[in-house]
Structure 1
């Protein structure tokens, strides 16, 4: 028994030191002697999930629950495993099972709040965080989660107040700085947000999302980029207006305005990214692909303007219109680049390729009508992309 206890202590220490493989070896040794040891199965589940061994971790957690179903901790560990594997429904169910046995555990309320965060259930996330804080009001991470829930709900003052309180409780918490940065970014202070995300990366250099958020904050410091991005988000759903066209043809002007607004925002995005990618202080924040896409879009703008001027100078309507179509390709390229689904991205890059072929054919055939259709199709990619994203999102959800 003494050796088993010592092995468990070593396994806990190894987990705290970030050495899950060593912890797994210790725990395998314990289970070889006592295969029904519930705590060993719990710790083994944590060691396995930290190594990316998802199925084995689930099996170990379920075995711990089977051995002592009346105890809160195995259910809590199972919830942690599911949460790390991004299985929010199972994580929430395990957290609720744990709370049914021991509702006074603040850590389990935090787990439940995080599970609701994965599900995008912001009100439930806030409620779970408050329940945990009622038990222990000094838990910085719970206050941070409450702030992030308020941010997602659009509640500016509670979000800022909770973030400030989290930082007061633990100034060295990466989660607290993340909550503060998210609130600042959401409610119009990109400079403060950038400072917060830099602090997150200082405290936790391996936290990838903080880099993306920092890049977003740096972009939003550009007033034009901020205005255009806000307008673009507001009118992304404008495709629904198409159903009113038969009774209100003037709405075509609204569609054109929305498309031009998106195009201007994407041009601003390309210029901003290229500027940040070339600056010494921020160049390391951008992967090569981001900088290359930004450069390609800037090149499309310059090339398109050049072809337009050439067409006007030569009196060739097809060439001039093709120049506008080349500039419109910026929307197609940016929409493809910013599509998360790999298959959706391939479809949109294929769409952009078809537009290039159509533009070239219009110039060769001297067909300004075809070039003009290329302009409309390029600018209208915002609605094509919305449909592609929706299709692949629904398809992926069905597979899961």
Structure 2
């Protein structure tokens, strides 16, 4: 009796018509309130409609009714994953696999949940075990490639990415994984080709667009060297507390700050060049182009003010010029902070520093200008603290 509405609901879900599937399933459950598959498929229908809490409730009921059946656990894992609760998704996927270890989609679910938690060794292990069950699964191959890329295993990551593309040359996510591996291991030109292919297959894939921009920037050798140095000499915000104990560390702080400043200038120049080029300007929104233009103007304006101050013997304007040049760091740190509240705080900080630089020049306060310059280049630690406080936004690996 329940077979017909269940079959109709499954067909409707396949056709991406979850609201109609929900109506079928609710009618079934009105007649058979303890139908396990009815609750499980209703969870899928609700999850597809972005009603996460309701979907979890239905999945939980299905698990309660049939705890020894793998399918309710699998559905529960998907509901938790879509709701942004990866720890519960991992537990549900493992419960499913304990009952049905040959179910490849459950290995994929487990791998994706570990990716959400940035648990790369576990993600690689789950994806690899899934591929042992389903060697032709392109999604598992792509996840394995991403996990190995994040683990720094260049050879295996490239092999897994090439395998994913070979399994399905029309898969946007396979080309994305291939591009990520190439970008991570020093082949930005090849990565750019892969990301262009992703955008050809799926023009609305924003992550591919951002990665293509990153690949195009890294084709510039100066940008590539400075970006690598910025990543190597990051200087965690906790280093600030070492200064009272080890005063000579100030030289290390200065070096790190100047490397970051130079890298941010290179970032601005490269972004502005790409944003103005006919072939790549559509990759950038107007905000990115404006921030890049501003960060290209700040060093020029600051240098002009510094030269004018030196020429006229004005100490305050000269030092204020250095402070204006230093504003590149806080502005770029703000622009590259994903958390909205953190970005607002950092833009506010940039505005305060800019105001202090202008007032120090007008009121002839060289000490204030010098402190502003120091605060500007030291904004990498301010930004690190702000990101720790407000978060950095969700990471999307695949």
TM-score (norm: length of structure 1)? 0.92
Give 1:241 deviation, angstroms: 4.9
Hey, what does 2:299 align to over in structure 1? 301
Aligned length: 393
What does residue range 17-28 of structure 1 map to in structure 2 within 5 Å?
A: 17-28=15-26
2:93 equivalent among 67, 92, 95: 95
Q: Could you tell me how far apart the structure 1 residues matched to 2:133 and 2:219 are?
A: 40
Counterparts of 1:28 and 1:101, CA distance in 2: 28
1:319 matches 2:311? no
Structure 1 position 331 matched with structure 2 position 326: no
Shift of the 192–18 alpha-carbon distance from structure 1 to 2, 3 Å rule, reads farther
- Written as runs of structure 1 = structure 2, the 5 A alignment for 1:20-169 is 20-169=18-167
Q: For 2:251, which of 250, 253, 269 is the aligned residue?
A: 253
- 251-260 or 223-232, larger mean C-alpha shift: 251-260
CA distance in structure 2 between the partners assigned to 1:369 and 1:187 by the alignment = 45
- Cα deviation digits, residues 345-382 of structure 1 (max 9, x gap): 22222221221221122112211121111111100001
Higher relative contact order (CA 8 A, sep 6+): 2
Choose from 355, 363, 366 the match for 1:365: 363
For structure 1, the 5+ residue unaligned runs are none
Tell me what 1:178 maps to.
176
SS in 1 for 2:16: coil
SS at match of 2:358: helix
C-alpha distance in 2, partners of 1:352/1:7?
60
Distance change (3 Å), C-alpha of 1:374 and 1:46: same
Q: Secondary structure at the match of 1:103?
A: coil
Partner in structure 1 of residue 210 of structure 2: 212
Offset at 1:16?
Answer: 2.5
Aligned to 2:386: 388
Q: Which moved more, 1:198-207 or 1:112-121?
A: 198-207
1:338, distance to aligned residue in structure 2 (A):
1.4
* Structure 2 counterpart of 1:188: 186
CA deviation vs aligned residue, 1:73-119 (integer Å, no higher than 9, x gap): 11001101111222110100000111121112111111111111111
Bigger shift: 369-378 or 166-175? 166-175
- Per the alignment, residue 345 of structure 1 pairs with 343
1:238–1:255 contact (8 Å) kept in structure 2 = no
User: Does residue 13 of structure 1 match 2:11?
Assistant: yes
Residue ranges of structure 2 left out of the alignment (5+ in a row): none
Q: Calculate the aligned-residue CA RMSD, in Å.
A: 2.0
Q: Who is 1:379 aligned against?
A: 377
